[in-house]
Each structure stands twice: as structure tokens, then as C-alpha cells.
Amino acid sequence: MIVCYSGQRLMDESQSIFHRAYAAEWYKFSPRLKSLLIITLYRSNVPCGLKAGNMIPLSIATFAAVIRIAMSYFTAFTSFKE
């Protein structure tokens, strides 16, 4: 849970960078800052995130899916016991 929560926070914060840069009053910036803002928007368009084994993104949705599958297996095993 802790690792998945950390991955979710990282994704949320990286998306927040994009939204804050997008909402900036760019028309008041100097030409140099405008070009840096374009680079920032381009780089932050894809959110950062943690991955397990470079395949599975660690997020709250992944944690919920693992818990759901574990409960499904638990239910199946208890039904075989009876």
C-alpha cells in the first residue's frame, strides 16, 4: 500500500506541474520564458510514475486490482475447502 500510494502521489504531482504551467499567464512572460514554458509543457505532458519490474505502474488502481484478485482467490479457496 505504501509503495502504491507513493507512486500515485508522484503521478498526481507530475500532472499538477502540467496543469499549473498550462494555467500560467504566458502572455506576460518574456520571450525566453515563453520558450521555456513550451519545453516544460512538452516534457510534463506525460506524467512520471513508479513501475514494478518496469512493467506494472504502481498506483492506487493497481493496489485495488491486486486486493480484488486476492479476495477472489481467497473466496475460491474457501469454497473448495467445504
Cα distance between residue 36 and residue 66, in whole Å: 40
Q: How confident is the model at residue 2 (pLDDT cuts 50, 70, 90)?
A: confident
Position 69 confidence tier, pLDDT thresholds 50, 70, 90: very high
Does the structure show a pLDDT above 70 at 82? no
Is residue 59 classed exposed, middle or buried when 0-12, 13-18 and 19+ CB atoms within 10 A define those classes?
Answer: buried
Overall pTM > 0.75: no
Average pLDDT over residues 36-59: 87
